[in-house]
């Protein structure tokens, strides 16, 4: 059975889109390169790793509504769900690079919008939790298997994006 690993290698805003959209560049590698992957139905839960950065006084003032007063942040600042994204990936053998589209409208996640709006610079740690199904060929037969629940990666996204 394939053993897929995931890495986010970059991000850029989509040039032509009806809504604000980020394209996260995803590298998928199969640890079993001899297996032919026919398709991947990929789901990603993306969490903001809020505790992983420091905040200026101005940023702290803007984040009080989300996390409470800064003196309580050791108890109140936790990872926050940003969004879910899905992607269908075509056939490959050892590795493929593709783009995971993530919508960035203010109405999808008010908390995430407030969080990003409060930041003045630097980077935001994003935790990508992957799941889904992989379709592959084994002994000439089409097989399907789950993507292991422990497949995840961290990406540090520049706030300017």
Q: Give the pLDDT confidence of 82-129 residue by residue, as tens digits.
A: 999 999 999 999 999 999 999 887 666 788 888 999 999 999 999 999
Number of domains in the chain: 1
Q: Give the pLDDT confidence of 48-60 residue by residue, as tens digits.
A: 999 999 999 999 9
Picking from 132, 140, 153, the residue whose alpha carbon sits closest to that of residue 46 is 153
136-159 mean pLDDT: 93
- pTM comes to 0.92
Q: Which residues make beta-bridge pairs with 80?
A: 48
Q: Which residues make beta-bridge pairs with 137?
A: 36, 142
Residue 70 CA, distance from chain mean position: 27
Give the sign of the dihedral formed by CA 34, CA 37, CA 43, CA 48.
positive
133-160 mean pLDDT: 93
Could you say which DSSP state residue 22 is in? E
pLDDT at 108: 60
Q: Which domain holds residue 119?
A: 4-158
Biggest CA–CA distance in the chain, Å, is: 61
What CATH number has the domain bearing residue 51? Answer: 2.60.40
Q: What rounded mean pLDDT belongs to the chain?
A: 93
- pLDDT bucket at 18, cuts 50 / 70 / 90: confident
């Amino acid at each position: 059975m394939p053993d897929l690993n995931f890495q986010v290698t970059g991000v850029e805003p989509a040039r032509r889109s009806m809504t604000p959209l980020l394209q996260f560049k995803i590298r998928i590698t199969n640890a079993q390169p001899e297996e032919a992957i026919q398709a991947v139905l990929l789901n990603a839960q993306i969490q903001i790793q809020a505790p992983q950065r420091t905040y200026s006084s101005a940023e702290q003032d803007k984040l009080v509504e989300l996390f409470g007063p800064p003196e309580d942040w050791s108890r109140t600042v936790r990872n926050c769900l940003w969004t879910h994204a899905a992607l269908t990936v075509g056939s490959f053998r050892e590795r493929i690079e593709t783009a995971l589209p993530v919508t960035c409208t203010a109405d999808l996640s008010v908390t995430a919008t407030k969080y990003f709006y409060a930041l003045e610079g630097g980077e935001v740690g994003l935790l990508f939790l992957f799941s889904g199904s992989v379709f592959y060929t084994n002994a000439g037969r089409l097989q399907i298997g789950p993507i292991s629940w422990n497949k995840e990666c961290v990406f540090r996204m520049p706030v300017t994006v």
